[in-house]
Structure 1
């Protein structure tokens, strides 16, 4: 049976036949023997985009390749729980900083892997990596709730915060808490840290972009608080509508920034998931369906498109872009048990401990409802 034939009628036509297979094959073709997934062959790998590509592999059923990708994070994690900003060909490429949202994202990837595989032994095996990473990240949280974006080469905090980065951390904290609860481990300071971070994202805009120009021109600052669950319900719908015409180009997708004629595939995928999270399915499907024009014959997707020039730019097919395509496809078509991770984020109840499988979310809390 083809991928399209396996879909319910309401989701048929979201992607071409062979999309999942070809997309995963492209990511596999770029993965290195040690498990690292660089942006593309000859490029660097960073911990966040590496995880995004690994989640794409898991969605396609390539669990061994995904697990190998997470093992690479085990093998390269520093003693303090962090990773450097970039790696290339088995060595550190950028030792200037370690970024907090990059470090936290391992929790999202491991929880996503578990939701698909149901492998509780694997969850236990990766727990120490997640724990060290989250402790590092929460060590950068201020009394106001926001989390510093990075530390420098000597480990000194770079004292400012990013809305997009902190939103990603908010989702990662949700996933880390769920891992802890599934394993029967109590981490109340993770929960209080998540609560404070959500409150900062919703009510303390002055705590972000304090030492540099505002990042408001970037579309991710607009929709990431919705995508990651920090803003939900009516507030999320209002937020997306307020800047819709500023960032969305009808028939093409989502701009990366509001002052350049450049739409990007990954941002468009993430916007589609944010729309789905707010109940705007028709809009989400419309954004997503138009992206397949930028798939190449090898299964990769070009990163972006400059529409006045009718040209792809940059001339790169990034693995994380393909990962984002697979995540959006899963969210829209329900391909795996992890399909709701970015559209209906949930905290497990504390009683849901040490339970085999993934179908026991009978008691949950919607992301953003507690702060």
Structure 2
């Protein structure tokens, strides 16, 4: 949802019933059962509470909805989680040019630019509606400054986009290809997929933690309750709260989108708490964000290997997230250079 000082709602338009795009659950095999045991306890509880299914079934449905021919879940999740300094799902404190408080949001998926410098994502309105220029981790530590900010209006000829990139300026915040929760639980990000109607999705926000739902429609136009701007997004039913804006929305271990906002029930609680259905919208990484940065923005995943040299991108980045790694000095960043020597 929007930062604490904004206090606005987003109304989702033109929702349709969940389609049959996701295959009915089959017998959950040993692989998914084993992987499910490694998910954060709060996420397992959210899947059961919000989706009415168990964690192995959630992972299987997410895999089927992604369209991947084979499951990448071949190792225990714990082995995929290196110790890093910053991860999706962390709370952000925003400040303006004078360093005065400007609101709260949530850090989205971690990414790097075309030179391998850390460039995490969040919601564009976090900066556009607060005049925020800088961001720090809510638990302490400077992240950096807002770089690209998009929050435009379909009704005024814009694309209806709502996302932002941050330029990391803290040399100690090495990025992680993972989503965390407020209790230390971690989920690896193994790839990026487009939203599919019926796909199970979960998000980790600094306010409401893990909540889950399903993609209701791959493309809707939503209206900001404060500005009246029309934005293009995908609609889902995972509850969100004030301060959750920018939160990572994932399906299983696959990155899907950046949370923009949602409706709330009485007292700011999730509608599902009183028997209703939550409604929220998110910016699709595949459809909206990444196409605007061809060759210059890459979401970090545990499996990403842009240069095809067999070494994951995340292991070919500089130890300093603000620096460029080019060991052979040929002008091509290591993660994009198959000729770069291993380190």
Common topology (TM > 0.5): no
Looking at secondary structure, tell me which structure has more helix per residue.
1
Higher relative contact order (CA 8 A, sep 6+): 2
TM interval, short-chain normalised: under 0.3
TM-score by length of 1: 0.23
